[in-house]
Homo-oligomer: A and B are copies of this chain.
Amino acid sequence: MKTLIKDTMAVLPDGSVKEVSIAVDGQRIAAVGDVPENFSADTVIDGKNHLAIPGLVNAHTHASMTLLRSYADDMNLMDWLQNKIWPIEAKMRKDDIYWGAMLAAVEMVRTGTTTFADMYGDMEKVAEMTIESGLRGVLARGIIGVAPNGEQAFEENKTLFKDFHGAADGRITVMFGPHAPYTCPPDFLRRVAEAAKERKAEVHIHLAETKGEVENCLKEHGKTPFGLMEETGILDCGVLSAHSVWLNDDDIALMKKYHVRAAHNPGSNMKLASGIAPVPKLLKAGVCTALGTDGTSSNNNLDMLEEVRLAALLHKVDALDPLAVPAGEALKMGTEYGAEAVGVKDAGKLEKGALADIVLYNMHGPEWTPKFDLVSLLVYSAPSHSVDTVMVDGKLLMEKGELKTLDEEKILFEAEKCAKRITQ
């Protein structure tokens, strides 16, 4: 299958924007700009008045939580978790997980996300969504070590790895998902680290999300969450660290040493009042810093362009420095750094040989006018829904606004039905 995206403006790996044609052969980009004359495409997409970027990467989410969108907001964290979220999650069955994930898939494709890193229960249903939707998924079974089902969840993560790691032509990667240091005791984490190492799997974990978490960790273990992760061997596995808000210089040095990748979640951190991560410091230290939405009960959407915009805006005002995170750097956090963070190789860049995960924005409309700087327009002004074409692994998931793999009407209907049932 060969596709030619013709005459589109495109954001290139060096940050420049040029008019090019992009040739896609199979799963990969065959050419950006210098398309061989004999390239005979099965499908040609008119890129005029469009902006192409590498697909957005949601480096931390809980897709099936879409079912809880708007169920409980504006509450204190523990009240919210204990009295609202956890009781409902306990009622979720496999088909809820599936339809919640499918609802997430519709939203992700429509807003230009091509890869997502997920952590939740019943992950084989999220794998099913990944296979059906055509998205790229980095899946981990969320494991709460202290919960009654902790051991079972650990086993399920091993099974998930066995059944799905590398599945769907390599679109699925499986990581281990110990939830957090405050829900998984050190010995449990040591066992997870061993299981991950045996399989050469990586680890997706929440670290240093709130000030209280770090204070308790210091009190209980005499170490910060990152210090504890080093001790338990988790950092040896390759770690995707969600949130990473409350960090000292030693933590940042550990992140750098072990090539920990941070999944920064500005929307969730703002809404839950968790704090402002030291993102300019992380970037300066050379820590790979990507972006995520977190689940939709703490965001409340999966709009990655919104996260890119928030990352660009929040750190400017926090540092009182209008150059803190420039537009181009924020966009890289949502694309190139995202692909690196979730461990997808050769992705996140529009260049020859890269995986063909490509998003096209239709630049017709007031927010895209006038067109002095297309990266600025995208990061600071554009509506997320101006995405109209989405390709993952060389296959079109949306073309000129039309979804190719998902039945949106059925999914909205089924998701609404599931949401009603679990909250009744």
Docked-complex contact A416 and B371, CB < 8 angstroms: yes
| Bound CA–CA A372/B419 (angstroms) | 9
Set of chain B residues within 8 Å of A70, measured between Cβ atoms: 370-374, 376-377, 380-381
Docked-complex contact A322 and B380, CB < 8 angstroms: no
Copies of this chain, tallied across the complex: 2
Docked-complex contact A367 and B322, CB < 8 angstroms: no
Give the Cβ gap from A67 to chain B, nearest Cβ, in Å: 6
Main secondary structure of the interface of A (DSSP, over half): helix
Set of chain B residues within 8 Å of A107, measured between Cβ atoms: 366-367
Docked-complex contact B366 and A66, CB < 8 angstroms: yes
Set of chain B residues within 8 Å of A44, measured between Cβ atoms: none
Q: Does A14 contact B (CB under 8 A)?
A: no
Q: Which of A168-176, A199-207, A311-319 contacts B (4 or more CB under 8 A)?
A: A311-319
Known: A366-B110, A369-B66, A370-B69. Is A273-B319 also a contact (CB below 8 A)?
A: yes
Docked-complex contact A322 and B370, CB < 8 angstroms: no
Q: Does A260 contact B (CB under 8 A)?
A: no
Known: A273-B320, A321-B273, A369-B416. Is A301-B380 also a contact (CB below 8 A)?
A: yes
Docked-complex contact B317 and A373, CB < 8 angstroms: no
Residues of A within 8 A of B (CB): 66-67, 69-71, 73-77, 80, 103-104, 106-107, 110, 211, 267, 269-276, 296, 299-301, 303, 310, 312-314, 316-317, 319-324, 326-327, 364-367, 369-374, 376-377, 380-381, 383-385, 408, 412, 415-416, 419-420, 423
